Chain A
Amino acid sequence: EAQVTQNPRYLITVTGKKLTVTCSQNMNHEYMSWYRQDPGLGLRQIYYSMNVEVTDKGDVPEGYKVSRKEKRNFPLILESPSPNQTSLYFCASSLSTGVGYTFGSGTRLTVV
C-alpha cells in the first residue's frame, strides 16, 4: 500500500532531550516536507526536501533539523526540545512539484 509512515505516533519527552521523528514513504517520491499544526495557527511548514541531499527551510525551522540521505526517508530531529515545540507534526510527500501530496498519520509530541 502506498503510504507515508511516521513514527512514533505519540511521544512525551522532557526539555532538552534530543529526539528524532522518522518519516518514510514507499512511493519513490522526490519531494518531502514536515509540517506542524497548532490550534489557531493552522499547518505551517518546517523544512522541505526536493531530492536526496537537498533540503531547505520552511516557515518555522528554528529548533529543528532534517536530513535526506535516502530518497524514502526524511527524519525530523529536535536537538534540544522545548515546550513550545509541543505540537502535532505531519510528514508529507509528493512525486514532484505540481502533483498532489500524501500525508502521514501524524506524530503528537508533548515536551514537558
Chain B
Amino acid sequence: KQEVTQIPAALSVPEGENLVLNCSFTDSAIYNLQWFRQDPGKGLTSLLLIQSSQREQTSGRLNASLDKSSGRSTLYIAASQPGDSATYLCAVTDSWGKLQFGAGTQVVVTP
C-alpha cells in the first residue's frame, strides 16, 4: 500500500527565507506527483504537477523536484512571504488514478 510522508509537519520561517518542503512515497509506480496548497478551512489549490517522467517543474517562485527511483519530491519556495503561510500537501497518483495524500506541512512565514 502506498504511503506518503511529509517532513517536517510544521515549519516557521522569517519573511525572505527560502522554504524547503519534503515528501516521500513508498511505491515508485506512480503516474505523477502533485503539490497543493490549502488555507485554513478552505479547498485545495494545485501548485505544481510533475509527471513521472519529469525531474522538476517550476512556476514563479516555486520549484518542485521528483526523484521517482528514491521515492522523493521536494518543493522549494524562494523568498518566502507572509502570504505563503498555509498547509502544503503532496499527493501521488497511482496506476488507478487514485490520489494518495501526505499529512501536509503547515508553514508560517513571519513578517
Contacts and interface: CB of A to CB of B under 8 A. Distances in A.
A64 interface: no
A31 B93 CA distance: 12
Interface of A: 31, 33, 35, 42-43, 45, 48, 50, 58, 88, 90, 92, 94, 96-106, 108
The 4 closest A-B pairs by CB, nearest first: A97-B97, A100-B49, A98-B31, A105-B43
A105 B97 contact: no
A101 B100 CA distance: 12
A48 B49 contact: no
A91 to B, nearest CB: 10
Most chain A beta carbons < 10 A, residue from B43, B49, B96: B43
B98 A45 contact: yes
A35 B89 CA distance: 14
Given A42-B102, A42-B104, A43-B89, A98 B43 contact: no
22 contacts: A33-B98, A35-B99, A42-B102, A42-B103, A42-B104, A45-B99, A48-B97, A50-B97, A92-B44, A97-B31, A97-B96, A98-B31, A98-B93, A98-B97, A100-B46, A101-B46, A101-B99, A103-B43, A103-B45, A104-B43, A106-B41, A108-B41
Nearest to B45: A103
A47 to B, nearest CB: 11
Contact of B97 (A31, A90, A106): A31
